[in-house]
Structure 1
Amino acid sequence: MSTTTTPATVTTADSIDLVAAAADLAQIDEQLADLKERRATVVGILEQGLKTGALEEGKKKLLGDVVLTVTAGRKTLNAGMFAEQYPSAKFPELYKDTLNTKAVTDAFAANALEQFKTKSAPSFKASAA
């Protein structure tokens, strides 16, 4: 695929406008960052509603023309806290062996491990020039 570059646009043989795509990505990323910040503020307000009793975990509440569902927070085992009271030396039946990836990378040459590596999808980030 051949690529042509000009100050205004970058197009490929398939007529993809990379400049426009990069500009769109930058704008979307900026909007997402703003929305994420705004969402955190709104969630903070709703958490205050939980503290005051205006909202309850596991309940739905009609607020104007919106039904707000408050899902109870998930309880998960804090493995570190548990391990302090039930160490693996005393309770080996509660633990399993796991691969120590640092030991593996220390023991093998990088090229010997290539066959075991996977590659994640590429990511793109656009920012103002």
Structure 2
Amino acid sequence: MAGTIAAVGAMGGSVLPIQGPPCTGKTFVTVRAILSLVRKGHRVGVASNSHEAIRNVLMGCLLALEDDDPDITLENAELAHKVSGEDDGYPEGLTGITRATSNDDPALTEAHVVGGTAFFFSRQEFEQTLDWLFVD
């Protein structure tokens, strides 16, 4: 895991595919790589065609922040997800992830980690607003 996170942090203008069967730790490593980048001051995007996949990564970030990341806390790591509507699949009463239903929501331009579909990230106003993009 540490080697993969170090490799991600050292990348510049390239792609690192990570592939494997279910339950092999892909999301676990992805979440920690994302948080490592946020610790260094980067803004990170999480993209997928599926809101469920995006939600899974963002929830993983939230859990990692709660469980085992002393350098970043829920208070200073901002997570946002551009969702389609009110029924976004998150647990009722969840805090820590801003769920924006409008593309104009300031959380989407201010958060450290932003989740959205390819349609969201293809909007011109979001061009060059992120340092890293993870595609699930």
Q: Which category of TM-score, normalised to the shorter sequence, fits these structures?
A: under 0.3
| TM-score, L = length of structure 1 | 0.18
| TM-score, L = length of structure 2 | 0.17
User: Which protein, 1 or 2, shows the higher relative CO under an 8 Å CA cutoff with sep ≥ 6?
Assistant: 2
Report which of the two structures shows the higher radius of gyration computed on alpha carbons: 1
